[in-house]
Amino acid sequence: MSLLNDLINLNLSDVTEKTIAEYIWIGGSGMDLRSKARTLSAPVSDPSKLPKWNYDGSSTGQAPGEDSEVILYPQAIFPDPFRRGNHILVMCDAYTPAGEPIPTNKRYDAAKIFSHPEVVSEEPWYGIEQEYTLLQKDVKWPLGWPVGGFPGPQGPYYCGIGADKAFGRDIVDAHYKACLYAGINVSGINGEVMPGQWEFQVGPSVGISAGDQLWVARYILERITEIAGVVVSFDPKPIQGDWNGAGAHTNYSTKSMREDGGYEIIKKAIEKLGLRHKHHIAAYGEGNERRLTGKHETADINTFLWGVANRGASIRVGRDTEKEGKGYFEDRRPASNMDPYVVTSMIAETTILWKP
């Protein structure tokens, strides 16, 4: 086994300029991440200098068998925390051979919104709180829970410490450091209300980079749990009953909101979000109705309300923002399995571009 680890950790830069690029893309379900690796003749730091590549879309639910070729366009590069050295992770989106984005390519439309001059001038910032649940591999039951049974009620687990409260911290810390190594702006981690559930925060990130960074952070988490023999779930309500669900609260601000008088801009933006509540809910993650019940720190899925420091609201404004008259707000509606390209671009579109 030690020989295997030695080979995995070989430093190729001692003997060759060749590097390995792991191309990452989103599969047909909209949540299944896929990847494969190719050798480059020398290090590359600009995604536009990377070659396009193809894959069998009929095996990912993204193309028919008789016309199965899908083309990967490299969009963002991250240092590879697994291979290290000059090796890279490459976030891609997917196109037909004719150059048309395939239906599951949500990055394409998001990039169009983020390149709109009005959006560019507002410099939208995002901070996404990604919650997830660690599951025992063979039984698909939360890590640390007795198989077929339940732990004690919620209360001691949120930000808790100790072997009877925090389950999977080694995975969480490994992911934290691996993301920082990869250049992902992870701003923190914490244990969540339900035991076996954790959260990491990505941001502040500007525009399309928020989606790129969150998807690659999810990829790194999937790889680490693969190594650990644990399953990661992004289901918004993995356990029914009196247990918290899992969300992806999305913190947001524009340049106008961050400047003096920004609180009035925030209130106008929230009003617009309320007018498009159903439109947003429809795009905020599958199964979200199981989570947004009006209980467990959520607003009911059919109700839109906002408040200062209210964790039972659709939109929460922080005390500091109210006091300073400028800042940001938190959209608490997105589910843990949301597509960050969709959610971030939709918030920008509604608050900046949409005219009621």
Are 275 and 238 a contacting pair, CB within 8 Å? no
CA distance 50 to 72: 11
The end-to-end CA distance of the chain, in Å, is 63
Nearest Cα to Cα of residue 273 among 288, 291, 256, 252:
252
Domains (range + CATH), the chain: 1-104 (3.10.20.70), 117-353 (3.30.590.10)
pLDDT at 162: 97
DSSP output for 251-283: EEE-HHHHSTTHHHHHHHHHHHHHHTHHHHHTT
CA distance 14 to 292: 54
Residue 304 token pair? 């839109």
Express each pLDDT in 250-269 by its tens digit.
999 999 999 999 999 999 99
Residue 1 has pLDDT above 70, yes or no: no
pLDDT at 47: 98
Are 131 and 250 a contacting pair, CB within 8 Å? no
pLDDT at 48: 97
Percent of the chain with pLDDT over 70: 100
pTM for the predicted model, two decimal places: 0.97
Mean pLDDT of 313-342: 97
Contacts of 249 (CB under 8 A, 6+ apart): 128, 129, 330, 331, 332, 334
pLDDT at 291: 95
Nearest Cα to Cα of residue 76 among 119, 114, 25, 28:
25
Q: 272 phi and psi, to 5 degrees?
A: -65, -40
Are 78 and 23 a contacting pair, CB within 8 Å? no
CA distances, 71 to each of 28, 209, 283 (Å)? 14, 21, 25
Are 27 and 66 a contacting pair, CB within 8 Å? no
Single-letter amino acid code for the residue at 47: P
Nearest Cα to Cα of residue 200 among 249, 140, 141:
249
Counting every residue, how long is the chain?
356
pLDDT at 115: 98
Express each pLDDT in 301-325 by its tens digit.
999 999 998 878 999 999 999 999 9
pLDDT, mean over the chain: 96
Contacts of 197 (CB under 8 A, 6+ apart): 131, 132, 133, 134, 142, 157, 191, 238, 244, 246
CA distance 293 to 297: 9
Sheet holding 69-79, edge to edge: 33-40, 19-26, 88-95, 69-79, 53-56
Strand, coil or helix: what is 316? strand
Strand pairing report for 315-317 and 306-308? parallel
Mean pLDDT of 275-297: 94
Q: At what angle do helices 340-348 and 106-114 cross, to 10 degrees?
A: 30
Are 81 and 66 a contacting pair, CB within 8 Å? no
